C-alpha cells in the first residue's frame, strides 16, 4: 500500500499548530503534502493559539464529530486592565482601567465562579454562522451582531501564576467553550476588563499536545517514507 493509499484508508494525525496559522492552513498544507482531498480537523484553534489540532484523513474524517465532542484542556494567559473587540490580541487593547486593588484572592474567587455549567456568549469575531455566513464578516463591517448565549461546562479553572497584569491559567472544559469569551468575562467579573493574551490547547480527550508533531516534523516523516 502506498503512503497516499494509507492516508485514504484513514489516519488520525496529532499536529502542534504553529502560532499565526489558521486551523485550515494546517489542513491545506497536509492536503498538499499527502495529495488527497479528504482531510479535516476536529476543532478550530484561533490563529494566535498553539497546541493540539487533531487532523483526520480519508475514511477517518467520519470520526471528526466524535473527537470534537471530547473534553478539552487549555493553558494560557489573561491580561487584565483592558479589553479588545476580538477578546484576544488580534485587535488592539482599549478601555484601559486600573488594576489597583485586584488581589490574588479576588482573582481566585472570580475563577471559581466560572466553574460548572454556565451560559457563555461566543465572540462576535468568530466563525459561528448566521444565515450561512460567519458572524465575523458582519462584525468587521461594524454591523451589530447578536449571538445567543450557549450552555457550556467548565470542569476546572485553575490560576497557575499571577504577575500583574498577567494571570496564567489552566482550564478544562466542554466542547463549544470559547476561551476568549472566558477571558473577557473574567475581566468583567473583576471590574477591570481583560483579554486573552496567550493560549495553548494541551489536550482533547485522551490525546495530548506533548504527543503531537510539528508540521515540519510531519513533512520530514513523509520524506523518510519515500
115 and 39 in a single domain? The answer is: no
Domains identified in the chain, total number? 2
* CA nearest to 61, candidates 87, 99, 34, 85: 34
78 and 179 in a single domain? The answer is: yes
Record the pTM. 0.91
pLDDT band at residue 134 using 50, 70 and 90 as cut-offs: low
102 and 179 in a single domain? The answer is: yes
Summarised one tens digit per residue, pLDDT across range 94-107 is: 999 999 999 999 99
CATH of the domain at 197: 3.30.2350.10
54 and 40 in a single domain? The answer is: yes
115 and 150 in a single domain? The answer is: yes
How many angstroms separate the CA atoms of 183 and 215, rounded? 29
Question: Which pLDDT belongs to residue 114?
Answer: 97
Summarised one tens digit per residue, pLDDT across range 28-84 is: 999 999 999 999 999 889 999 999 999 999 999 999 999 999 999 999 999 999 999
Q: Which residues are catalytic?
A: 46
Range of the domain at 46: 3-69+205-225
29 and 41 in a single domain? The answer is: yes
61 and 156 in a single domain? The answer is: no
Q: Percent of the chain beyond pLDDT 70? A: 89
Amino acid at each position: 500500500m502506498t503512503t497516499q493509499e494509507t492516508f485514504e484508508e484513514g489516519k488520525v494525525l496529532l499536529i502542534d499548530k504553529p502560532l499565526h496559522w489558521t486551523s485550515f492552513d494546517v489542513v491545506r498544507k497536509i492536503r498538499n503534502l499527502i495529495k488527497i482531498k479528504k482531510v479535516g480537523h476536529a476543532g478550530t484553534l484561533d490563529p494566535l493559539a498553539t497546541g493540539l489540532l487533531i487532523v483526520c484523513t480519508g475514511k477517518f474524517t467520519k470520526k471528526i464529530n466524535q473527537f470534537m465532542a471530547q473534553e478539552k484542556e487549555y493553558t494560557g494567559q489573561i491580561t487584565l486592565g483592558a479589553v479588545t473587540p476580538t477578546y484576544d490580541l488580534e485587535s488592539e487593547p482599549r478601555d484601559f482601567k486600573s488594576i489597583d486593588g485586584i488581589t490574588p484572592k479576588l482573582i481566585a474567587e472570580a475563577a471559581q465562579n466560572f466553574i460548572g455549567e454556565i451560559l457563555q456568549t461566543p465572540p462576535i469575531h468568530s466563525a459561528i454562522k448566521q444565515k450561512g455566513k460567519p458572524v465575523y464578516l458582519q462584525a468587521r463591517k461594524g454591523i451589530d451582531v447578536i449571538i445567543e448565549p450557549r450552555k457550556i461546562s467548565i470542569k476546572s479553572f485553575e490560576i497557575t501564576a499571577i504577575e500583574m497584569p498577567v494571570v496564567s491559567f489552566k482550564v478544562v472544559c466542554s466542547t463549544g467553550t470559547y476561551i476568549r469569551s472566558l477571558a473577557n468575562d473574567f475581566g468583567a467579573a473583576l471590574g477591570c476588563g481583560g483579554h486573552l493574551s496567550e493560549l495553548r490547547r494541551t489536550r482533547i480527550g485522551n490525546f495530548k499536545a506533548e504527543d503531537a508533531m510539528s508540521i515540519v516534523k510531519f513533512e520530514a516523516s513523509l520524506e523518510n517514507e519515500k
